[in-house]
Homo-oligomer: A and B are copies of this chain.
Amino acid sequence: MSLNHIKWMNLAILQGFRSKGATGKNPPVGCVIVKNDILLSYGRTGITGRPHAEEEAINNVVDKKNLTESSMYVTLEPCAHKNNNGLSCAEQIYRSGIKEVFVSCIDPDNRTNKKGINFLRKKNIKVHENFMNNEALKLYNGFFSRILFNKPFVSLKIACSLDGKIALKNNKSKWITNELSRSYAHFLRSQNDAIMTSSSTILNDNPRMNCRLNGLEKRSPTKIILDRYLKVPSNYNIYNQSNKKDIFLYSFMEMKHHLTDNKFVKKIIVDKKLNDEDFFNFIFNDLAKKGVNNLLIEAGSIINTLLLSLNLVDELVIFRSGNIIGNDGLPFINSLNFKEINDLTNYKISSIKTFDDNILEIRNLTNKDTSCSQAL
């Protein structure tokens, strides 16, 4: 028996990450097929979700006879529901002759949940479930959140100085973080399904909110705009996009004439009477319905303060420079009025990277009380 299971599953996970942010509402899956400890093929979920990774990996083997007695490593449970070609992934695995499957995460989707694994076992295929589960979970934080909680996995991006300021007091913020950090922030955009910002950020910075890395332009996320009072004119950069994706505009008010010219802008009216928590929950539920698994938020301190004080941020993505701005600078968060240290919300380190003198900290909310989100 091969001792290289970890190596092969890591390769599958890497394949999965190549698809993250580009599979629509489908989960990004990586798959590797190995025989006698030699790589036969690999696959990953296609753009917008098809083909599935298992199907691609199987199809990539030219001489299908080689599949007999081979092993598959796949980051998510093979599906039990029918594919375009009329066959589920579990069925295709069985027909291929594969004799052993390492599965990392169980699919929470009711159409498959454990049914894929049970099918394989009934067909006498050896299944190792939850293999390197923790390592693959980061692929599915968004998918699990949408399926289980009816909301996207919410990542809040902050670019700040050593003392947590996002701009000088005169509003200058170009550039607090360095070019490497900003490039990586574009890469993170490509790994999210949607990016949300607010009217005040648009009016202040006129951002494009797309991914401008060479070769990843098409991975630009869907734009979500919070413009409750329709303050943003239609000539702002955010509305000028080449990828013809829908832009979702959440507002209290009916469409103004100037935006009706842009046929990609889809407006959703939010009830003005909702409190802050219900306002965001309405939007997050609506985005989940639209198939958004991973939502990145790049806004200012008002939105940051609302979301953080409501514990609606699953993941903090903080790029921090090596400069100190001083307390007259603009903070990434406003007052929270805490009276006790023990009342503070805790975010655990998920990963740390350095970019020259900048540090990227990714931290996850830890005090949710459902066991599944703890796993996330």
Residues of A within 8 A of B (CB): 161-165, 168-170, 172-176, 301, 305, 308-309, 316, 318, 322-329, 331-341, 344-349, 352, 354, 356-357, 359, 361, 363, 366
Query: Contact at B327–A334, with CB atoms within 8 Å?
Result: yes
Closest-by-CB residue of B relative to A322 is B347
Query: Contact at A335–B345, with CB atoms within 8 Å?
Result: no
Contacts of A363 in B (CB 8 A): 162, 322, 357
Query: Contact at A323–B345, with CB atoms within 8 Å?
Result: yes
Contacts of A339 in B (CB 8 A): 168, 170, 172
Copies in the complex: 2
Q: Decide yes or no: A162 and B347 within 8 Å by CB, A339-B170, A341-B168, A363-B357 being known contacts.
A: yes
- Chain A facing B: main interface SS: loop
Cα-based distance from A316 to B363 in the complex (angstroms): 23
Query: Contact at B349–A322, with CB atoms within 8 Å?
Result: yes
Query: Contact at B347–A323, with CB atoms within 8 Å?
Result: yes
A142–chain B nearest beta-carbon distance, Å: 22
Contacts of A174 in B (CB 8 A): 341
Query: Contact at B348–A357, with CB atoms within 8 Å?
Result: yes
Query: Contact at B163–A333, with CB atoms within 8 Å?
Result: yes
Contacts of A173 in B (CB 8 A): 341
Cα-based distance from A175 to B346 in the complex (angstroms): 13
